[in-house]
């Protein structure tokens, strides 16, 4: 009964939040930590075994079986650590080991010993130990042969979180969708649970090391430790150079310990400063994929294609550099590009607005698009598309998904699209893409107004401030692929939340009717009754926007 309750019923009732059931049977598992309730069954089995063993005839057999039960129980306790209080686990393991020793010592004083039975048990234990050693050896040899022909990780993405965390997630999402990628793609958020195993993954379990070159990656000790390990173990390596990446200069190499004093901590992992300096010089000779222009899905797929070619045809890149640019920027006429996008996305009800100057924000938008689209594909027109520079939302768009990043509201194109969307009464869903994003405060709005007045924005500062306030009337959803704990499971849960919000139909529409004057001139004019009513102002604004669009 206890086994049935703990193993079968308890997981079901916990999912259903059956509090009455949990309270009724809590005496079975409340002493153990969450997830270790099955130990109550193990404890009952052990107690039953200790009661039955004395009934078995033969003194030597009794002693051997009791010692066996105690040793197995000690191992299980040490492995599971089931008790809520950690010290209780240590105490139980010690007591079980002590009882086993006491019984072993007491067996020396036994007079009635069945020698044949003892020899049979000892032989059985010896054979079991030999089989265990052989099994472990066979498993290790099989793992070695498997790793020699195909290592677990086909690609290892070495990156600095704040500079390329979202781009690394985007590359992984695209790579695992390609048929040529048979192995796993290593990203620390998903695949690293023990930091001490990090360099082992690079040296022994990785086929290709991909360095996502950003501004600060050369000064990150763990990143340089990964690259150095890859060099020492002759792992095939390529640099994907983002726009802000600069190859290591000789000055940086010579003064590396001055710029990165904590590099000395890598000595505990067998990596010296001299080895890191040699790696920096080695990085200058690596094959490089240079990314030019604005990031988009086509450019990302082009990078993945180059990485697959490198895997299929080793040495195909040599030491040459490959430059990849945004195909959309190479179009002869801007009007042609806009016409093509209108033909492709006209009918879409959801558009993603992102700061195209921020590469990490664009990567976040692309990851969001990849994860949300399968959840919305069955709802007509709800699959989102990403707005490009100098592009307004399609006439069919009803919802604007705003990817909030640093400097987002200071972009004139973003401000124009936001205010024009408010003039169309579109609904909005804010997404926080960076941990350091500032939520609106009085200083925030003052800064927006100051930026708008000094950057020649095509909208009135008061309109922009009012629209920003309306954006954050909706509860924002955090979706940050560059976060240190942003595992694929966490991102999938947040993607489901975003899809639910998009399909819920409860998002608030934006409007220009309720804006309040904020500049000193407008406040003075409003107090004197010189400003027109909101409805008249809105009609004039809509006419202005329609003439601009």
Beta bridge partners of 432: 404, 478
Interval 226-246: pLDDT, tens: 999 999 999 999 999 998 899
Interval 212-225: pLDDT, tens: 999 889 999 999 99
Interval 518-540: pLDDT, tens: 445 444 444 433 333 433 333 44
| 306 contacts 274 by C-beta, under 8 angstroms | no
**Short-list 341, 360, 359, CA closest to 351:** 341
pLDDT of residue 533: 41
Q: What would the two tokens of residue 131 be?
A: 């089989």
Taking 70 as the threshold, does the pLDDT of residue 545 lie above it? no
Measured between alpha carbons, how far is 368 from 361 in angstroms, rounded to an integer? Answer: 10
- How many residues are listed for the chain in this entry? 549
Cα angle 254, 195, 169; round to 5: 85
Taking 90 as the threshold, does the pLDDT of residue 275 lie above it? yes
CA 354 to chain centre: 20
Interval 95-139: pLDDT, tens: 999 998 888 888 777 776 677 777 777 788 889 889 989 998 998
Q: What would the two tokens of residue 168 be?
A: 């690394």
Measured between alpha carbons, how far is 418 from 466 in angstroms, rounded to an integer? Answer: 10
Interval 34-47: pLDDT, tens: 888 888 888 888 88
Q: Which domains does the chain have, with CATH numbers?
A: 2-143 (no CATH), 150-328 (3.40.50.10140), 345-548 (3.40.50.10140)
Q: Around 340, how many Cα atoms within 13 Å sit in the side-chain half-sphere?
A: 10
Check residues 497 and 409 and name the one with the higher pLDDT.
Answer: 497
Average pLDDT over residues 82-106: 88
pLDDT of residue 13: 79
Percent above pLDDT 90 for the chain: 32
Q: Is the pTM here over 0.85, yes or no? A: no
Interval 344-355: pLDDT, tens: 788 889 999 999
DSSP code per residue over 417-463: HHHHHHHTT-EEEEEE--TTPPPP-HHHHHHHHHHHHHTT-SS-HHH
Percent above pLDDT 70 for the chain: 86
Average pLDDT over residues 15-30: 79
Q: At what angle do helices 359-376 and 297-312 cross, to 10 degrees?
A: 90
Residue 461 pLDDT grade (very low, low, confident, very high; cuts 50, 70, 90): confident
> Of 44-58, 137-151, 283-297, which range is least confident?
137-151
pLDDT of residue 458: 62
* Interstrand relation of 477-478 and 184-186 (parallel, antiparallel or unpaired): unpaired
Measured between alpha carbons, how far is 388 from 311 in angstroms, rounded to an integer? Answer: 32
Average pLDDT over residues 31-59: 85
Taking 70 as the threshold, does the pLDDT of residue 192 lie above it? yes
In a 10 Å sphere around its CB, with 0-12 CB exposed, 13-18 middle and 19+ buried, how is residue 90 labelled?
middle
Residue 390 pLDDT grade (very low, low, confident, very high; cuts 50, 70, 90): confident
């Amino acid at each position: 009964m206890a086994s049935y309750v703990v193993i079968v019923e308890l997981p079901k009732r916990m999912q259903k939040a059956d509090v009455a059931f949990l309270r009724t049977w809590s005496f079975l598992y409340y002493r153990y930590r969450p997830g270790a309730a099955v130990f109550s069954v193990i404890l009952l089995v052990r107690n039953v075994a200790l009661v039955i063993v004395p009934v078995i005839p033969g003194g030597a057999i009794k002693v051997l079986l009791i010692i066996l039960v105690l040793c197995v129980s000690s191992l299980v306790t040490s492995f599971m650590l089931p008790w809520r209080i950690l010290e209780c686990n240590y105490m139980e393991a010690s007591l079980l080991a002590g009882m086993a020793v006491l019984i072993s010592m007491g067996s020396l004083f036994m007079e009635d010993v069945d020698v044949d039975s003892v020899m049979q048990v000892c032989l059985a234990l010896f054979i079991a130990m030999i089989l265990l050693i052989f099994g472990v050896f066979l498993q290790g040899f099989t793992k070695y042969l498997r790793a020699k022909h195909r290592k677990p990780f086909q690609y290892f993405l070495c990156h600095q979180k704040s500079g390329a965390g979202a781009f690394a997630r985007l590359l992984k999402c695209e790579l695992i969708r390609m048929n040529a990628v048979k192995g796993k793609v290593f990203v620390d958020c998903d695949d690293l649970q023990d930091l001490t195993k990090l360099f082992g993954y690079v040296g022994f379990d990785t086929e290709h090391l991909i360095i996502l070159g950003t501004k600060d990656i050369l000064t990150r000790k763990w990143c340089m430790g990964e690259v150095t390990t890859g060099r020492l173990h002759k792992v095939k390596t390529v640099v994907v150079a983002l726009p802000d990446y600069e190859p290591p200069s000789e000055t940086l190499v010579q003064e590396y310990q001055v710029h990165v004093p904590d590099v000395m901590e890598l000595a505990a992992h067998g990596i010296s400063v001299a080895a890191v300096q040699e790696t920096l010089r080695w990085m200058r000779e690596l094959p490089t994929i240079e990314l030019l222009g604005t990031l988009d899905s086509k450019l990302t797929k082009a990078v993945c294609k180059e990485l697959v070619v490198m895997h299929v045809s080793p040495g195909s890149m040599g030491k040459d550099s490959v430059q990849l640019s945004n195909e959309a920027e190479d179009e002869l006429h801007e009007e042609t590009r806009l016409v093509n996008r209108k033909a492709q996305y006209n009918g879409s009800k959801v558009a993603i607005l992102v700061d195209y100057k921020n590469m990490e924000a664009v990567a976040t938008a692309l990851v969001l698009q990849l994860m949300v689209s399968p959840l919305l594909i069955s709802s007509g027109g709800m699959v989102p598309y990403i707005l490009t520079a100098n592009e307004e939302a399609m006439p069919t768009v009803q919802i604007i998904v705003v990817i909030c990043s640093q400097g987002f509201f200071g972009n004139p194109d973003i401000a124009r699209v936001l205010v024009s969307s408010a003039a169309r009464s579109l609904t909005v869903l804010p997404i926080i893409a960076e941990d350091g994003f500032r939520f609106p405060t009085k200083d925030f709005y003052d800064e927006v107004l100051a930026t708008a007045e000094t950057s020649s924005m095509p909208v009135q500062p008061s309109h922009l401030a009012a629209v920003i306030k309306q954006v954050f009337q909706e509860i924002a959803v955090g979706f940050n692929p560059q976060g240190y704990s942003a595992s694929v499971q966490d991102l999938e849960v947040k993607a489901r939340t975003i899809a639910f919000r998009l399909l819920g139909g409860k998002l608030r529409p934006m409007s220009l009717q309720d804006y309040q004057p904020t500049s000193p001139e407008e406040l003075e004019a409003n107090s004197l009754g010189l400003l027109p009513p909101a409805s008249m102002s809105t009609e004039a604004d809509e006419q202005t926007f329609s003439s601009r669009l």
